[in-house]
Structure 1
């Protein structure tokens, strides 16, 4: 019941259309069950002499001209049967159209809500989640719900109504024959129910295996250049083959269960039909059952056997739809990130203060410990240290991608966690080491955050990022399509594009998270000079492993194991025993070797 309530919530705005679809299937089922009644009345009462017991049927016969008139003009009965068939077809068309329209609109609404919700989930969720599984939930699972709404649900409602109506008619015709006709129905229904409970887990396992296979495929396509570079095609093929084999085995197991069900249900159903024909023939021969009633019973048993057999398939699809609904609901159950919780949007100049800041991803496993430092507006601070020392974690706290656990961070004297996330992210530009570019042209990528920016500003940002000359050398200039993830650009060009995209917004705080690693030393110097000479110079935080990149910073912090172990200017640190001087000595030695080679 809970699942149906969820579906009804999603169907808001389209429930009336769906209701009319349901009414249409009910009318079509009534017309379907009317055909055997017309044949029975024709055989027993129009051609034969049996008295019509139903006042409703008697009125219809009188309306058509009476028994004697119809007996002489049986073609009218033929027209009546054709009219019933045409009417049934019209209502079936309405059922399919209305149910499908409602289902399509509902699933569009689900997709829109899913996409919107995913966009609002916190950064931490996306770091931990698998892209392939998210894609699976947003595509295959939504399509499963669509099929359930457009086909299975209306069919099961129509079938249940027809089953009840036919059983009522059968019992009014002949109780003994009706009892004989439904002997196998409870067994078939029980078999369907047991099958449904068993196959539900098999469907869930198959869906999860498909998600794992999709994740493997997505990772391979995304990292295809790495695969080619390291000649890992065979490894990737074997890895995909393993996931594909798992999916195939689980799906095949599911298909075997379905085959067993359909085979056994066929046996039960045909046995029931055969039994009705044998017993009905005998009763008709003995005079206990009229010929018209016998024809009606044979017709009706074929009508009700199919819905009961289909109950297993419908229950299975219902189970699959509910599994999909559960998987989708797992996304909706994730709390979204509130970006404007306080509506506090102060004017940010760029003064930064860290005081005894602690941060951890997992409980009792601190990544940053007791960090304290100050940066004045317009200054440049550099972070250097071993991989995994916590540098990126530190800068991810400033745009509030993560929240610190203890201590405080203040921007211009204001506690960071009191400032709206959306506002702080507009004022803190973050350039990552591995920039993501969209499959658009260069101009659209640079002015991504503000598509209305004029071309002059785009060119200025490109010049500052030392990418303008490269862009001019392209055949289409700023109209050049960079391809998926910027595949047509070099690593350095992608980094400089990302820098241009960030600084175009004139953020008062700019963070370079090792985002100059793929550019040569000369370009590195050019970018830093251009940034330093800009008007309204931003507070700049640079993470780098290259001493030449951080040497001109106003302050350098050396971080190791989440703690600041050294701080000072370049000249201070090279004259001090410690990690910075060791890195400086090693890099200078390597540079000398390259020059003398």
Structure 2
């Protein structure tokens, strides 16, 4: 059996490590369809929203036609009241008299009007028409209000479900995937991109549906008024399609790049702020500022280009709309003068022309929001579509004694660089196995394989005779307690952090764990005792105290196996002694794997594995390995009596102290 010196791949933390949302053109159609498909659970609400929208559109589009009738009533009444003719004179007589005097144009215009010579405006009829229009507008507004509230609920519920899906997906992703992603980039997808999807759906769904239906309704109503003017208005549609198509073609990649650069900038910020003290100590502020400025400028440039190009739609559409408005007014005026249309009809058509161009402009202005939302959706979908860890096994182990067997285990992070090859090892229940050796020899990888954070290339690992691949991961990991070099505490009380080790832990059990691991000693010196709140960076307790709390957490979990990974590497000698006592209590009657650089912490281990030069070179207890005067002896002497160097490369037992 041998173990290569190839190190576990370093987590790519720099901001240039992106997932590649902008490396290829967006599949806009497919992604948009999938995005809309997220609303499937809200199907009933979506149907109600659509019905309310249709109702509001119908009432809005028929109102100008009704208002046109009111205008005709007012204008016809004003014209009829201004005529000083004998009582009983009819409309046809007035028109005939005008034609007889050679005023044909005026006669044509009056022939289109419904007036009674000498009779003024019928304000009662006008009032009824205005009342109808008022009711229509009021009901339409109520429909839109209800629709907006229901849409908001549907979208927010969908986004909550999407966040839950992403959260669940992250827990199903293999550790290798998470190791390959900058935390800031992944967080940006889970937070910024999902928020952007919600905002895009919220703003575009209602607007696009309402605007699209309005365009259809307005076209129908315009056709009932004038075919000629309707054809003139429809000229705007191909212009809109041409402009929108060109804009979408150019801005799709830009919006994808915008969110990619946002994720990269978040990654750089997260990386810098998490190591803020280190940046200060080594005087790297200028470099950090320069990197930030570079990334910020890149984001600003691509965002500006995306917004500028997509923003061209609105002014172009306003220009087309204004041209259309002028054309409708001029030709409509000529039609009124020739008697082809009434004043009320042209008034209604002018409103329809505005109602027609306005939704087209709104739909065009939604292009940038829609593209931005779809670009974010693609980034989220990439996470949801990422390959998951292998399928979970079923069943459970009734009892764990803690025997671990490595049978011809091989593993590599990359196929061309083997790390562990043909490892065979048996650990009996209750034994402590220490793993020592230079950095990168595969010590941490060994315990990660036990936890199934990574899957074996070949071979098997058995727990009490059962292949760990046949044990559900949650069940396997619930039997293992871990204390890592980096003590992780969350924002909460010391009591809560200890209780994290066991669901439903009682106060008595928390107290016993704290006393057994010497946490109780320093807790009473704190003003709030166990209720002391650990801040987000855990800076209000020392490094050693943080480590003791994590040991207490593992003690409370009462695992069958224990993994200690460099648990004392960053503490002072006095704290290390306390930690050794705490860990000795924790290891009692448990199978333990201890990874340590400080060899003083593993003298009492039952078995010590020494990894060097890509293989397990020695195996035994502390005294036997010292007597062998091999690799372990050289490591031990280098720590306690000075560095050991070889005088003769051919004879590794010939050494000189420096």
Considering the TM-score relative to the shorter chain, is it more than 0.5?
Answer: yes
Query: In the superposition, relative to structure 1, how do residues 16 and 4 fare at CA in structure 2: closer, same or farther (>3 Å)?
Result: farther
1:31 aligns with 2:59: yes
Per-residue CA shift, 1:78-120, capped at 9, x if unaligned? 3223222222221221121111121122112212222222233
Matches within 5 A, 1:156-305: 156-305=208-357
Per-residue CA shift, 1:183-231, capped at 9, x if unaligned? 2332122211221222121111111111111112222232223333334
1:88 aligns with 2:132: no
Match of 2:393 in 1: 341
Q: Is the 8 A contact 1:511 1:542 kept in 2?
A: yes
* Contiguous gaps of at least 5 residues in structure 2: 1-28, 78-90, 93-118, 644-658
Which structure's CA Rg is the greater one?
2
Q: Is the 8 A contact 1:466 1:523 kept in 2?
A: no
Q: Is the 8 A contact 2:544 2:575 kept in 1?
A: no
Measure the CA separation in 1 of the matches of 2:368 and 2:528. 55
- RMSD, aligned CA: 2.6
Measure the CA separation in 1 of the matches of 2:372 and 2:31. 12
Measure the CA separation in 2 of the matches of 1:72 and 1:309. 38
Q: Any idea what SS the aligned residue of 1:537 has?
A: coil
Q: Any idea what SS the aligned residue of 1:552 has?
A: coil
Q: Any idea what SS the aligned residue of 2:412 has?
A: strand
Query: In the superposition, relative to structure 1, how do residues 374 and 396 fare at CA in structure 2: closer, same or farther (>3 Å)?
Result: same
* TM-score scaled by length of structure 1: 0.90
The range that moved more, 202-211 or 307-316, is 307-316
Match of 2:156 in 1: 104
Measure the CA separation in 1 of the matches of 2:231 and 2:587. 92
* Contiguous gaps of at least 5 residues in structure 1: 52-66, 592-597
Query: In the superposition, relative to structure 1, how do residues 44 and 541 fare at CA in structure 2: closer, same or farther (>3 Å)?
Result: same
Measure the CA separation in 2 of the matches of 1:562 and 1:428. 27
Q: Any idea what SS the aligned residue of 1:469 has?
A: helix
1:18 aligns with 2:46: yes
Structure 2 residue aligned with 1:484, among 536, 544, 548? 536
1:588 aligns with 2:640: yes
Instruction: Report the CA distance between 1:474 and its aligned residue.
Output: 1.3
**Alignment coverage as a number of residue pairs:** 576
Query: In the superposition, relative to structure 1, how do residues 534 and 193 fare at CA in structure 2: closer, same or farther (>3 Å)?
Result: closer
Measure the CA separation in 2 of the matches of 1:243 and 1:97. 39
Structure 2 residue aligned with 1:42, among 63, 67, 70? 70
The range that moved more, 458-467 or 352-361, is 458-467
Q: Is the 8 A contact 1:70 1:77 kept in 2?
A: no
Per-residue CA shift, 1:274-330, capped at 9, x if unaligned? 121122222222333322222122111111111112222223322222222222211
Query: In the superposition, relative to structure 1, how do residues 386 and 76 fare at CA in structure 2: closer, same or farther (>3 Å)?
Result: same
Higher relative contact order (CA 8 A, sep 6+): 2
Structure 2 residue aligned with 1:564, among 600, 616, 626? 616
Q: Is the 8 A contact 2:517 2:585 kept in 1?
A: no
Per-residue CA shift, 1:329-368, capped at 9, x if unaligned? 1122124446852213242111122222111111121111
Q: Is the 8 A contact 1:132 1:216 kept in 2?
A: yes
* TM-score scaled by length of structure 2: 0.82
Q: Any idea what SS the aligned residue of 1:362 has?
A: coil
Query: In the superposition, relative to structure 1, how do residues 474 and 216 fare at CA in structure 2: closer, same or farther (>3 Å)?
Result: same
Measure the CA separation in 2 of the matches of 1:526 and 1:260. 68
Higher percent of residues as helix:
1
